[in-house]
Amino acid sequence: MLHLRLISPAARTHDVLEVLERCPGATNIVVFPGVAVTPRGDLVQADLARESANEVIGALSWLHEEGSIALEEIDLALSKAAEEAVEEAPGAPDDAVVWEHLAQRVSGESKITWAFLVFLAIATQLAGIGVVLNSIVLIVGAMVLGPEFGAIAAICFGVLGGRWRLAVGAFRTLVTGFALAIAVTFVCALVSVWLGWIDADSLRVNEEVQFIVKPDRWSFIVAMLAGVAGVLSITSGKSSALIGVFISVTTVPAAGYVAVALALREWTEVAGSVAQLALNVAGMLVAGTVTLAVQRRFWPQVGRGSSV
């Protein structure tokens, strides 16, 4: 269940209540007349089945200008009325995509922030160290730490909805983040070369690490599967599944390998790892966009009222 909080101009509260009472997934509707100060109006609250969120938000889209709409997850709802609302709402809660929530989430992920840059730089450095030490543990840790999937999801959403400014901004964030992360890791690797800590033999990685620099059909297939899983995890609210996505793809390890190979002037290795990085990103973009398109097209109950 979701908790819906609305601020409505007093003259339009009747319209708001009409929408809520008509929706089978809405229950526990409460009105507090005149209590809202900024903006002025009535406060309306209700519990809402996740499957009905798009329908209600779409019908009340005018409140974006005249009042306010807020949604939040309910961790525990002990209510017969709430159980009946979920049963009457079309579809299943886990399949429902709240498109406005997704739009707001990916919009934030599309922006270049210090947190994004720092996390990606640290993850890439860990991957570079993992390559030098032949440490699977460090490489997997770098995969989990990398924050790049948020920008990839934003590109998918932007392409699907024709929000090209969002897609271009997210792509710029992705490119800038990896460029900076590789540059920082390259400088650190170069210092290590000057100090004699690493040399060409440092790139003689074991078989378990070779997947970083040997892109093939399986790399693309794995990236596509990860793209599907990643999009489903963020649209269904099952964020724990994202950890599996991060561990499945080799974007960050490939970036770390690029930086180390550049410092050692191993151009063949650079080409292989760049190809692996590009292949992984391309696979996730294709699969993520297709997954969102399928959710919108073939599950009408989760897309009703969508603004995608």
Could you state, in chain order, the average pLDDT of each consecutive group of 10 residues for the chain (308 residues)? 93 94 91 92 92 89 91 85 79 74 84 93 94 86 89 93 92 96 95 88 67 81 89 73 67 92 88 91 94 80 46
Task: For residue 191, count other CB atoms closer than 10 A to its CB.
Answer: 12
The per-residue pLDDT for 206 is 58
The per-residue pLDDT for 301 is 47
DSSP classification of residue 171: H
Task: For residue 77, count other CB atoms closer than 10 A to its CB.
Answer: 16
Up-side HSE of residue 185: CA atoms within 13 Å toward CB? 35
The per-residue pLDDT for 240 is 57
Residue 139, classed as helix, strand or coil, is helix
Structural tokens at position 230:
């990643």
The per-residue pLDDT for 124 is 95
| Domain ranges, ordered by start, for the chain | 2-94, 101-303
The per-residue pLDDT for 95 is 67
| Contacts of residue 204, Cβ cutoff 8 Å, sequence gap at least 6 | none
d(CA 26, CA 92): 15
For 101-303, CATH number out of 1.10.287, 1.20.1080, 3.40.462, 1.10.150 equals 1.20.1080
Give pTM, 2 decimals.
0.82
The per-residue pLDDT for 3 is 93
The per-residue pLDDT for 303 is 42
- Polymer length in residues for the chain: 308
d(CA 197, CA 51): 57
CATH architecture of 2-94: 2-Layer Sandwich (3.30)
Q: Do domains 2-94 and 101-303 have the same CATH topology?
A: no
- DSSP string of 239-299, one letter each residue: TTHHHHHHHH--HHHHHHHHHHHHHHT-HHHHHHHHHHHHHHHHHHHHHHHHHHHHHHHH-
Q: Which amino acid is at 32?
A: F
Long-range CB pairs of 294-297, under 8 A, 24+ apart, other chains included: 295/97, 295/235, 296/97, 296/160
